[in-house]
Amino acid sequence: MSMIAAFYGGKSILITGATGFLGKVLMEKLFRTSPDLKVIYILVRPKAGQTLQQRVFQILNSKLFEKVKEVCPNVHEKIRAIYADLSQNDFAISKEDMQELLSCTNVIFHCAATVRFDDTLRHAVQLNVTATRQLLLMASQMPKLEAFIHISTAYSNCNLKHIDEVIYPCPVEPKKIIDSLEWLDDAIIEEIAPKLIRDWPNIYTYTKALGEMVVQQESRNLNIAIIRPSIVGATWQEPFPGWVDNVNGPNGLIIAAGKGFLRALKATPKAVADLIPVDTVVNLMLAVGWYTAVHRPKSTLVYHSTSGNLNPCNWHKMGVQVLATFEKIPLERAFRRPHANFTSNNFTSQYWNAVSHRAPAIIYDCYLRLTGRKPRMTKLMNQILRTVSMFEYFINRSWEWSTYNTEMLMSELSPEDQRVFNFDVRQLNWLEYIENYVLGVKKYLLKEDMAGIPEAKQHLKRLRNIHYLFNTALFLIVWRLLIARSQMARNVWFFIVSFCYKFLSYFRASSTLKV
Ligand SMILES: CCCCCCCCCCCCCCCC(=O)SCCNC(=O)CCNC(=O)[C@H](O)C(C)(C)COP(=O)(O)OP(=O)(O)OC[C@H]1O[C@@H](n2cnc3c(N)ncnc32)[C@H](O)[C@@H]1OP(=O)(O)O
Ligand SMILES: NC(=O)C1=CN([C@@H]2O[C@H](COP(=O)(O)OP(=O)(O)OC[C@H]3O[C@@H](n4cnc5c(N)ncnc54)[C@H](OP(=O)(O)O)[C@@H]3O)[C@@H](O)[C@H]2O)C=CC1
């Protein structure tokens, strides 16, 4: 019998960010392994014209939840969506809902955040710092609360090279920043933001570091733990391999590579690609929730959910496997054949951007204009290159994350729990994982039918022929221009032609002699 699964039985669990990538996988696993849990409260806001109920309905009826429905047929009754906007005071939760949350919650998983790298400082602080403080305040009024699990990121201290499982202080106190945002206007905030974030690469990682400090300062006598995942990728094993549902992190770039938009990347091939499957993170979260509630560690423990120091993979290996998978299982209607040049050199990267990205986009837009259609490729290419530039910091560096607490927890689990809540990333086979990941992007994110693979392969063949034709035509044009303008080019041309002629004559003469 799994002790962790039994622990969540009969519990009321509060999840923020349950509609996000991590939150959905967390709910799925909870319902599947502890179908006798009492209720999962989720704090949700209406979005994209959908009510809370419509959002929940959509999640529960997705492929991700197919297995849940078998083991927990009344899952609809066990999920309670509460209207909340985490950027508002008191989260805009009604009095009755708040009362219920305060009196019933046993465990909190705080996943909600803005993960945009370029969010405004005001919004990122509101969500990643102030909302965390507000939730801690709520938690302190929950008499039945047993554990509060805060999800941060392994990159919250990416200004350091070696990162331990401890909370590092930030140069400016979070409280001072929260207070000053109340009276400063937006223009001034954006002006001081670069000075505040100093050597952090973006507002996201900086505000996640502030969020951790808030957890440390406002923990009171709560049982708290912090989990720091690195780059969260598609599912490894559960509920099935390769599930993914947004374009964040590597997902968007995998699509861009598969569609042939992105053919070169400023990345250090040997730098560690610290990906961690989302189901591994979720298993660790549930194990940490159990351990924090049952063993009540004296201080707030930090757990790294990373792969680099236990089972490293680098960007070169990842890139090669992504492309190898696209050879076998291409995406439909690719713009160009998938290809990836990794370079860490600035000049080469600029060159590839001009030749391999911007030029084809401009040529294609000219073609669209000439055929009376609206040009769109340059805009899309600019968007992709902007995203890539934001990721460059992360794909050109390696970090060392210590994992003492994570390994300690692994050793505390019973063999059954180690199996059901497996977060031992040493068992991961990268080549198999990346192949399933790419397949998952095609199936679950792009919703492409596997029956379309022969046609997609045919399309790639056509693209290859167009590529050869284009290159030959370009070569001939350039050469013709050179010959017309330069004596030296003419001399080279005549030398090559006479050399070929002599070679052919010799070849013909020697074959006549043999006869
Ligand atoms: C060959 C092998 C490759 C391997 C390649 C590995 C890469 C390895 C990355 C490491 C990454 C480390 C990450 C640290 C780990 C965390 O802790 S962070 C958690 C992950 N967070 C993120 O990934 C957030 C990053 N994204 C952003 O900050 C914003 O989306 C961006 C990049 C600033 C773009 O902002 P924007 O220009 O305002 O665009 P946005 O409105 O978001 O979207 C515009 C359009 O672009 C699309 N789009 C948005 N993002 C993307 C994207 N990433 N890609 C494509 N399309 C996108 C949207 O779907 C949207 O489409 P439409 O709806 O218009 O059709
Ligand atoms: N993905 C990754 O690679 C990594 C993620 N993390 C951390 O994991 C956690 C989850 O990330 P992930 O699932 O990928 O992110 P997502 O962007 O997929 O999910 C974010 C969640 O937060 C919710 N949210 C955002 N703003 C509000 C708001 N104002 N009110 C209520 N809810 C809000 C979103 O709700 P809605 O659906 O309404 O937008 C969504 O449910 C975050 O804390 C992130 O920092 C850490 C390392 C890596």
**Residue 155 token pair:** 């990159």
The enclosing H or E element of 474 equals helix 453-485
The mean pLDDT of 252-262, rounded to a whole number, is 97
Mutate to test the pocket of ligand 2, among 22, 152, 228, 285 (most ligand atoms within 8 A of CB): 22
Q: Is the CB of 270 under 6 A from ligand 1?
A: no
Ligand 2 mean position to 343 CA, how many Å?
A: 31
pLDDT bracket for residue 470 (50, 70, 90): confident
The mean pLDDT of 60-84, rounded to a whole number, is 96
Single pTM value for the model:
0.93
Q: Is the CB of 390 under 6 A from ligand 1?
A: yes
The enclosing H or E element of 407 equals helix 404-412
Task: Give the pLDDT confidence of 439-457 residue by residue, as tens digits.
Answer: 999 999 999 999 999 999 9
Q: Is the CB of 257 under 6 A from ligand 1?
A: yes
Closest Cα to atom 2 of ligand 1: 319
> Which of the two residues, 214 and 48, has the higher pLDDT score?
214
Ligand 2 mean position to 323 CA, how many Å?
A: 29
The number of the ligand nearest the C-alpha atom of 340 reads: 1
Task: Give the pLDDT confidence of 356-369 residue by residue, as tens digits.
Answer: 999 999 999 999 99
Q: Is the CB of 117 under 6 A from ligand 1?
A: yes
The span from the CA of 289 to the CA of 283, in Å, is: 10
Q: Is the CB of 111 under 6 A from ligand 2?
A: yes
Beta strands (DSSP E) in 57-146 are 79-83, 107-110
- Model confidence at 262: pLDDT above 70: yes
pLDDT bracket for residue 513 (50, 70, 90): low
Q: List alpha helices for 185-277, DSSP H.
A: 186-197, 203-217, 250-258
Using alpha carbons, select from 58, 459, 409, 511 the residue that is nearest to residue 259. 459
Average pLDDT, the chain: 95
The span from the CA of 370 to the CA of 367, in Å, is: 5
Q: Identify whether the C-beta of residue 209 lies closer than 8 Å to the C-beta of residue 164.
A: no
pLDDT (0 to 100) of residue 503? 84
Q: Is the CB of 114 under 6 A from ligand 1?
A: no
Query: Which ipTM was obtained for this model?
Result: 0.92
44: Cα separation from own chain's centroid: 22
- Model confidence at 250: pLDDT above 80: yes
pLDDT (0 to 100) of residue 515? 54
The mean pLDDT of 121-133, rounded to a whole number, is 97
Name the percent of the chain lying above pLDDT 70: 99
CA of 116, closest atom in ligand 1: 28
Mutate to test the pocket of ligand 1, among 204, 327, 387 (most ligand atoms within 8 A of CB): 387
